[in-house]
Amino acid sequence: MCRIKVHLILILVTLGSLFSSAQARVYSYDGKSRMVGNLEYAIVDENCNNIHDLARQYNVGYDALMSANPHLTEDSDLKPGLMVYIPNKVILPKTIKPNTVLVNIAEKRLFFYDDHSHQLFVYPVGVGRVDHPSPLGKMSITLKRYKPTWHVPKGVLAEARENGYTDHPTIMRPGPDNPLGQHAIHLSAQTYLIHSTNNPDLIGTRNTSGCINLYPEHIAELYGKVQVKTPVEIVNSPLKTVRRDGVLYVERYTPLLSYSDDVERFDAVADLRSDVRGIYLNHSEYDSKHLPEAKVDKLAQIMQNPVSYPVAIVDL
């Protein structure tokens, strides 16, 4: 048997409080915990505009908000009284090192642990599109630029021409049309940046040519916390697990594939069953020779639709 154990916090969505805080979601953090936060919910009132504004107000990305709320669609009307889950309970992809940026592209989140204040900052991010994946691995910050000029990479220009934009500018000065926004952080993985955006509705989706982008208010905060040479690590971890008080929590995302050919060959059922087998082998008394298929089937059925928050597994 499996059920979701949640701690609910009631929030009233009001236009007056929209974007009132520029901060990311911030958690007290001891440098060791593997799960932070609570699953919250909001009750929509008549002043809430749309799903994108709701995601931004509560510091979550668009994809995460939609997967946490399967009753919503892109065209849903946010009618007063509608309850919306806010997926702000998070299993960390790994132990967060002090004063290090960690990005998990599978969940489209960026983590920064400030060990001086013992606070963990969690930001929703946009990541690279299929065929334009974000780079993985360890790197560092090489440069910070405020109100940056964008020298458009050759690959972006070539893609624009393929899509019919033959007059795409090669240089974009600071301003409202510059997709880098007002803050750009250069990475040692050449041509890749962490930057703002001129279209906040895209945060929490696959929308870039490999860069990591954030809400304007979030990148402004992060920009002030990081320095040149700050370590950065980008991972692709769609399955996260942790035990707390004897209960196993599982947070799973649809694997973020890098290329169109991978997408065409991807077998979602086989991938899910592989994850479920791994959970049983790592967190139960079963070994690979004695793993009951009925249990694999049952847990696979429960986990087939990722919900972007930790699920409590109470019977393995």
- Which tens digit of pLDDT belongs to each residue from 168-186? 788 889 999 999 999 999 9
Cα(195)–Cα(181) distance, integer angstroms: 7
Written as one letter, the residue type at 293 is E
Beta strands in the chain (DSSP E): 10-13, 25-28, 35-44, 83-91, 101-104, 109-114, 119-124, 127-128, 137-146, 150-151, 171-172, 183-187, 193-195, 206-208, 212-213, 231-235, 239-244, 247-252, 311-313
Structure tokens at 89: 């309970």
Q: pTM for the complete prediction?
A: 0.90
Could you tell me if 236 and 196 are in contact, meaning their C-beta atoms sit under 8 angstroms apart? no
Give 113-138 pLDDT, tens digit per residue. 999 999 999 999 999 999 999 999 99
Residue 285: C-alpha distances to residues 220, 233, 295, 314 (Å): 48, 33, 13, 14
Higher confidence at residue 76 or residue 268? 268
Is the confidence at residue 195, as pLDDT, over 60? yes
pLDDT over 90 at 237, yes or no: yes
**Pairing outcome for strands 212-213 and 193-195:** parallel
As annotated, the active-site residues are: 195, 211
Residue 5: what pLDDT? Answer: 37
Among 199, 6, 2, smallest CA distance to 87 is for 6
Q: Over pLDDT 70: what percentage of the chain? A: 93
User: Closest Cα partner for 217 from 47, 59, 99?
Assistant: 59
Q: What is the pLDDT of residue 1?
A: 33
- Determine the average pLDDT of the residues in 257-266: 94
